[in-house]
Amino acid sequence: MRNLFKKFFRNEFLKNSFLVGGGTLIAQGLAFLLMPLITRYYCPSDFGVLQNFQYIAIFFISISSLKFDIAILTSKNEYAYRRILATGIVSVVFITLLSVSFIVLMSSYQYFPLFLSNVKEYIGLLPLITGFSGFFVLFNSVIIFKKRFKKLGESKISQVAGVMSTQISLGFLSFGAVGLLLGEVVGKITALFPYFNLIIHEIKSTLNVISVREIKDTFFEYKKFPLITTPGSLINIAGYAIPILLFGNFYGTAALGFYSLVNRCFAAPSALIGQSISQVFSSDITRLYNEDPKQLLKLFVDITKKLSALSIVPVITIFIFAPSIFAFVFGSEWEEAGKYFRVLAPLQFFGFIVGPLTPTLNLIEKQNWQFAWEVARFITTLIFITFAYLESLEAITALGLYSFVMTIFYIFHILLSLWFIWTKIVRTT
């Protein structure tokens, strides 16, 4: 046993995954234990409002750093890292101010587009979410670049503690949907606490040595990230957010709330295992692709197999008993969410596998293919969810169609990534 532990910690990839996963385990364990309490304070419609707001906010969050957070991971030296980080900081500030302008403009004209109608009274929270989340995403990449993986776990614990304590307190006081939303804002702030000293140090060190001209030059040197990867990210988000936002608009916030709870249940193991592996895997993709593509292929296949084996039994087991489990754990009014679980199971199973591997195409500089995949997925899912509504299909049937389409696209993404890694091996041998 002692030799097994020594062997484990000699494996750099497993060791780093463990450092990230340890903190995530505590955070997600805390979230899982407290979720049944939260679902008894808030109704499905409250969760529907939260899901609606989150999917709107994520459009701003995804572009907040103009993807210079990903560019940081491609840095070849300290000077390049400093230039990219400075450009990323400026980008976050700019997009946050843009979100403020967006809200002021809408409030002035009292015009709120389709997806904002259910959350217009909470829209003032958008700049807070955008700014704090933008810095969180950016400095997550700094942590990965510097291989200080323990901090990632600490951040997850801090974030979940902030979210849960706020949501429970405000739920007890019967705040309704606003309690869930304020919990998310507090969580974004507390997630930065473990990074505070690092953030101050890196900002000072970077902005003191990097000029405005260098930031401008860096933007154009790495223009693929803001001009291709960022729109691709928006399409990626649109691919899963807009169909679900339409679903909420077509079928109501209660139906969206049932979806939200199922999504959270799947998100817990994904955050625990998938994100931890993804963050460590991302730190090695570019290097292995250039230096040892055979090792990258081996690692890619190994992760795919392990994640498949890890998730198949729990998904099938819960699938069989889902309605009873949801009613018992979360309260009787959440039994319908168990039925939603069943139709979403294939999507979430393959999403759990593909999630950690998604950065591959971007980090091997195949951004155009990632973009094309995201555009195709967006258009297809949009067509299917709209078709379900026009044909007057039930909410659960509409989600079943959505689940089917997303599953096909996840499988295709795996095959596409494997193809490019394999072609790299062929060219270098």
Instruction: Dump pLDDT digits (tens) for 199-214.
Output: 888 888 888 878 888 9
d(CA 184, CA 122): 12
Amino acid at 57: A
State yes or no: pLDDT of 231 exceeds 70: yes
* CB 383 within 8 Å of CB 404: no
Residue 140 gets the label, from left (phi > 0), alpha (psi -120 to 50) or beta, of: alpha
Residues contacting 284, CB < 8 A, separation 6+: 13, 296, 299
* CB 21 within 8 Å of CB 152: no
The count of C-alpha atoms lying within 13 angstroms of the C-alpha of 122, restricted to the half-sphere facing its C-beta, is: 26
Q: Mean pLDDT across the stretch 305-311?
A: 84
Which one of 274-288, 321-335, 356-370 scores highest in mean pLDDT? 321-335
Amino acid at 106: M
Q: What is the DSSP string of 109-130?
A: HT---GGGTTTGGGGGGHHHHH
Note the helical H segments in 146-195. Answer: 149-172, 177-190
Residues contacting 280, CB < 8 A, separation 6+: 13, 16, 17, 20, 144, 149
pLDDT digit string (tens) for 85-120? Answer: 999 999 999 999 999 998 888 777 666 666 777 788
Q: Residue 4: pLDDT band by 50, 70, 90 thresholds? A: very low
State yes or no: pLDDT of 12 exceeds 70: no
Look at 247 and 267; give whichever has higher pLDDT: 247
Q: Residue 297: pLDDT band by 50, 70, 90 thresholds? A: confident
pLDDT digit string (tens) for 135-183? Answer: 999 998 988 888 777 788 788 889 999 999 999 999 999 999 999 999 9
